[in-house]
Amino acid sequence: MRFHVQYRGIQNGIPCGEPFADWRLPMDVRTDIAGLLAGPTGLDPAAIRDLLETPPDSRMGDYAFPCFPLAKTMRKAPSAIAAALQDLIPAGVSWLDRTVAVGGYLNFYLDRPAFVRRQAEEARQAGDRFGASDEGRGRTIVVEFSSPNIAKPFHVGHAFSTALGQSLYRIHAHLGYHVVRMNHLGDYGTQFGKLISAYRRWGDEAALEAAPIAELLRIYVRFHEAAREDPALEDEARTLFRRLEDGAPEEIALWKRFRDLSLKEFGRVYDRLDVAFDNDNGESFYGPMIPAVVERLRERGLLEESEGAFVVRLDDLGLPPCIVLKSDGATIYASRDLAAAIWRKEQYDFDRNLYVVGNPQSLHFQQVFAVLEKAGYAWASTCRHVGFGLVRFPDRKLSTRSGDVVLLDDLLQECRAATREIIDRNAAERGMNWDNDLKDDLSERIGIGAVIYTFLKNSRDRDIVFSWDDMLDFDGETAPYVLYTYARARSILRKGEAAGVLPAWSDHPSAALAADDEMALARMLEGFPDMVRRAAESCEPYLLTRHVTAMARSFNKYYNNESILGAASPELVRARLCLVDAVSLSLRVGLHLLGISAVERM
């Protein structure tokens, strides 16, 4: 059960994985600048590329090389180094406009039209593969996410894991990794003994068919109420679970039925989110593999009896012992995760194994990984816990037991309804004749996008304070903002196309894209691929969310400042359409990597 208890932040800043070593220096302007500076400074081009900064104001240049680090070795003031370096930059570099030495910086002003064209064309040629690479080719990443509990409602906490995992799946796939998506269902434990007991007493067959999880939750809650009066029920539940574990056919059949019904209901949510899994082995799947794990730990002399239980000591790592077998001989959460990790390695031979599970379980995973390491599994170091914060109300936690929760279904419903309202109003104001199917489709996708966006907006370590007001506010940094921007850009391209005006570059002087707005957009395009890579390395989709949002903001400024279709010359119109094309496809790709589906109009 991945959502037993919840608490806030640990894990901040822990990288999910170092970049693999064979990373190539990309061909881009930073590399070009590094090439110019390599000779004069005697530094490695890759190091220079890394040092390059963007000045705080575009009037100060497009790139800055800080000379401060050279001051010690060169025994000169940074400002003097900058001036000296400037003299060594050859004249007549086509992509460079000029350089200026100011303070300790050597600032580079790019040839704007060339740069804008280069960045836009790079995106347009890549299309849906913009920002993609083959750095992950031949490598497998297992990502466990979502992991709801059978017979319990799918709430916003699971939505967080689901949104994160889905995005991490897409981002890694974009970088060429083979990604295996695991849904580690909570389908095991005494709770199922309780459910079986409760169902035999109070179960309503019709209700179970109609709304399985609601019915299972109902009888589960009722069981707890009854157990307060009659503690013997708890014993009965334990006995039933033991029968289940021992393979009693009747209990197995009921358990399987609960599982199937729950899975079917989860499936509807996953379909709406466009989420799928390669494997939904739950905790129960790994139970039978535990004896072999225990045996291995015993062979290696790691298993130690303590207070009747069998544990692996982790004192040398400053961690509490990891309990592998309870004093009654039964297995425990950690033993199942040990077995699961080993099975995944054998099955998929992963290069990296990610667990998108809430922060509360940080210690649990530290222990599990440590035990794997001690047991001689060198690949333990490739396992990472990708933690995330708690979803809570401003003043209190969500509580499934008391029904004080936000179910994902309800959240999606509200967002969809709020979206629909805006669409109806806009359509009326603009005199659009959109049919109901289109409006339904749009409100569904925009509403879902809004939900996903809120989960991927900030670093995952942060708690999410749930507020309906914020949730249904579609202004500013939200999915509707980005989607709206995309729809506007697409609208321009459609109108151009309808008028026979297609994107095209021209060498005509009037077609040069050199405005601040255009430069800003080109810089956003330039930064996109690197941001995809950073998001993957840190397992932080919000980096991409922010980048995409910033790009949308830049575009909206541009849109308001300049007329694209009404530009001064036909050549300029076409050149601007190229930029619009590049930006819109980047937005679409970025949104896709976040798990959000773009809309062509709204």
- Position 8 contacts RNA (CB under 7 A): yes
- Position 253 contacts RNA (CB under 7 A): no
- Position 565 contacts RNA (CB under 7 A): yes
What's the CA gap between 166 and 184, in Å, rounded?
14
Residue closer to RNA, measured from CB, 180 or 311 = 311
- Position 553 contacts RNA (CB under 7 A): yes
Closest of 63, 6, 60, 55 to residue 30, by C-alpha: 63
Q: How far is the CB of 271 from RNA (least distance, A)?
A: 22
Candidates 126, 557, 570, 592; binder of RNA (CB under 7 A) is 557
The number of C-alpha atoms within 13 Å of 478 and in the hemisphere containing its C-beta is 17
Measured in degrees and rounded to the nearest 5, phi and psi for residue 102 equal -140, 125
* 601 and 446 Cβ atoms separated by less than 8 Å: no
Residue closer to RNA, measured from CB, 74 or 207 = 74
Enumerate residues 178-217 that contact RNA by CB under 7 A: 186, 188-190
Enumerate residues 285-314 that contact RNA by CB under 7 A: 306-309, 311
- Position 2 contacts RNA (CB under 7 A): yes
Enumerate residues 472-511 that contact RNA by CB under 7 A: 473-477, 480-481, 484, 487-488, 490-492, 495
Long-range contacts of 570-574, Cβ-Cβ distance < 8 Å, separation of 24 or more: 570/501, 571/506, 571/508, 571/510, 571/511, 572/510, 572/511, 573/496, 573/501, 574/501, 574/502, 574/503, 574/504, 574/505, 574/506, 574/511
Residue closer to RNA, measured from CB, 409 or 477 = 477
Enumerate residues 24-63 that contact RNA by CB under 7 A: 50-51, 53, 55-57, 60-61
What's the CA gap between 165 and 143, in Å, rounded?
7
Residue 454, Cβ neighbours under 10 Å: how many? 24
Q: How far is the CB of 479 from RNA (least distance, A)?
A: 9
Q: How far is the CB of 283 from RNA (least distance, A)?
A: 5
Residue closer to RNA, measured from CB, 354 or 464 = 464
C-alpha pair distances (Å), 254 with each of 27, 260, 266: 59, 10, 18
How many residues can be counted in the chain? 602
Q: How far is the CB of 476 from RNA (least distance, A)?
A: 2
Closest of 185, 210, 196 to residue 261, by C-alpha: 210
Residue closer to RNA, measured from CB, 50 or 235 = 50
Q: How far is the CB of 484 from RNA (least distance, A)?
A: 3
Enumerate residues 390-449 that contact RNA by CB under 7 A: 419, 422-423, 426, 430, 442, 446
- Position 231 contacts RNA (CB under 7 A): no
The number of C-alpha atoms within 13 Å of 219 and in the hemisphere containing its C-beta is 24
Q: How far is the CB of 74 from RNA (least distance, A)?
A: 13
Residue closer to RNA, measured from CB, 446 or 548 = 446
Total site size for RNA, rule CB under 7 A: 104
- Position 351 contacts RNA (CB under 7 A): no
Q: Which residue has the tokens 């079986």?
A: 196
- Position 247 contacts RNA (CB under 7 A): no
Contact string 152-171 vs RNA (x = CB under 7 A) = --------------------
Residue closer to RNA, measured from CB, 179 or 481 = 481
Enumerate residues 75-104 that contact RNA by CB under 7 A: 102-104
What's the CA gap between 163 and 540, in Å, rounded?
11
What's the CA gap between 278 and 295, in Å, rounded?
29
What's the CA gap between 517 and 208, in Å, rounded?
58
Closest of 69, 76, 39 to residue 53, by C-alpha: 69
Enumerate residues 318-337 that contact RNA by CB under 7 A: 318, 320-321, 323, 326-328, 330, 332-334
List the Cα angle 69/70/74 in 5-degree steps: 150
Residue closer to RNA, measured from CB, 179 or 236 = 236
